[in-house]
Amino acid sequence: MLNRFSTRAAKMMLAVTTIVTATLGGSNAASAVEDSTSTTSGSPIKNVIILIPDGMANDATALARWYKGSSLTIDSMASGMVRTHSADAPIADSAPAGTAFATGHKSHTGYVGVLPDKATMPGQKAIAVGDEKKPVASVLEASRLAGKSTGIVATSEIMHATPADFSAHYPDRKNYDALSKQQVFNGMDVVLGGGSKYLEPAGRKDGDNLVASIKALGYDYVTTPAAMKASTSNKLWGMFAPAGLSYNMDRDPAKQPSLAQMTSKAIDVLSKNEKGFFLMVEGSKVDWAAHANDPIGIISDVLAFDDAVKVAMDFAKADGQTAVVAVSDHQNGGLTIGNAATTGTYDKEPLSTFIGPLKKAKLTGEGVEAKLNAKRTNIKAVIKQYYGISDLTSEEIAAIKAAEPGSLNYVVGPMISKRADIGWTTGGHTGGDVVLYTYAPNNDRPFGVIDNTDVAKYMARVLDLNLDNVSKQLFVPAKQAFTAKGAAYKLDLTDVKNPKIIVTKGSTKLELQIYKNVALVNGKKTALEGVIVYNGVDAFVPQGAVDLIQ
């Protein structure tokens, strides 16, 4: 027994060493990571849960820990660091950063689930001619094809960059119409978060009613925490806000579930599948708070995220067949505990200097906005009651009064940061490494400094998935494939509500509905194994669609 264990441990450490060495080696990383698969072929892992605290800086976890007064769940899971750059920039946007986690490929700013059009960062291979903006398979899609249940959970709208990276493909993260339609027809079992207005006709440029489509596909469509909890369906779609959900500190528990509650429900539904599951969970608004330089929003949603990690970890430890990954896609804001005012006193300041002012806040800047009256004549009273600030300057009062609707956290956040000596360097993302947190029942997990693309490769390896093969199966260049069969091919984009591909050969007419998994063969509907993707230039179809033309 001892010899078998030692051999297995040695093999796992060899695999880990290979991954770390490969990552530091730049362009050779991909092949080395793939080569490590055989060393852990006996892995018992059948489920993977990845939790992403979007934009979470390292100082944000320290700040949340001091605020809480005890360790975080993720503290015990730290195993390495992750490089976050995109294909052509050292500071990543969420869309390519999430694409790296989801697909194992770096991409370009704004690109969701597709290859970049250029790769100029050191160590990056040039994109092959014809592969620009080509869709590539996610771990979620590969898991679904392997018979596993799949789901996404987010506190943003679910068609936002990170959840879309795992479930849709388009080289523009702002194209919610295209992304959300793919999500509806991509065969996921659980979708929980915000964004209901982008599923309804009034909130869409194409006027489509995706809520009706969701219900027609057999989902239990719920809009309250109580309905989510009561659902017994194996297909669950929950929308709890028109756009993003509230910060956890501001949340009405009767109207919106917490991230931990959504994670728990998703696991309950997905774990019914004996073949396993893949789940992506995003604490989306850590990033939004960082953009606003709002430390209260950050504390609120880092702690809410950590609660969700605990749910995942409790399940994984009881289950014994689940790996958990928690990792931010990038840092944001340049948050520091200490600022220019503490330059000469940083080592003499007590903890209360930094945490005391933050403890007085009862809401985030976003939550405080709802407490102001229409003419904002109650600014002093509201800020004193909910932020404990009684020394507002006339300039601060004027700034609060002038703040645009939906942006008060950008005004109030810096005010409390100044009083708590919390520093910020930017209102945008930053390019530093982020902490990698992992758990696996057999301790087969990555260590050291790895690349963000290695996160996808790790998840695919432990689930025994081949992402390259799935990409070839799901995303065949349509025009090339059908014309090679002697068929006539037409891309018809005239009807914005129903763009389609029309293929004819002999007496067979094939209609493929773009962004759906629907094919009509001489008018008879058939479901495909994946969605039809149009990237603004070319269309891509599952191999099963090509096989419908003989």
Which positions are annotated as active-site residues?
A: 94
Task: Answer yes or no: are the C-beta atoms of 383 and 400 closer than 8 Å.
Answer: yes
Residues 98 and 111: their CA atoms lie apart, in Å, by: 10
Burial class (CB in 10 A: 0-12, 13-18, 19+), 332: buried
Q: Which residue has the tokens 């979007």?
A: 54
Helix 295-319 / helix 351-359 crossing angle, nearest 10 deg = 90
Q: Cα separations (Å) of 135 from 141, 166, 467?
A: 12, 12, 12
Residues 38 and 8: their CA atoms lie apart, in Å, by: 12
Task: Identify the three-state secondary structure at position 200.
Answer: coil
Task: Answer yes or no: are the C-beta atoms of 283 and 53 closer than 8 Å.
Answer: yes
Task: Identify the three-state secondary structure at position 12.
Answer: helix
Task: Answer yes or no: are the C-beta atoms of 20 and 436 closer than 8 Å.
Answer: no
For 254-315, the DSSP string reads TTS--HHHHHHHHHHHHTT-TT-EEEEEEETHHHHHHHTT-HHHHHHHHHHHHHHHHHHHHH
Backbone phi, psi, residue 269, to 5°: -75, -50
Residue 399 CB neighbour total at 10 angstroms: 18
Task: Identify the three-state secondary structure at position 189.
Answer: coil
Residues 220 and 227: their CA atoms lie apart, in Å, by: 9
Burial class (CB in 10 A: 0-12, 13-18, 19+), 210: buried
| DSSP β-bridge partners for residue 220 | 236
Burial class (CB in 10 A: 0-12, 13-18, 19+), 537: exposed
Burial class (CB in 10 A: 0-12, 13-18, 19+), 1: exposed
Task: Answer yes or no: are the C-beta atoms of 328 and 74 closer than 8 Å.
Answer: no
Residues 511 and 509: their CA atoms lie apart, in Å, by: 7
Q: Which residue has the tokens 């199966």?
A: 473
Residues 60 and 72: their CA atoms lie apart, in Å, by: 12
Residues 407 and 141: their CA atoms lie apart, in Å, by: 36
Q: Which residue has the tokens 């078998």?
A: 4
Half-sphere exposure of 200 (CA within 13 A, CB side): 10
The DSSP bridge pattern shows strands 236-239 and 190-194 to be: parallel
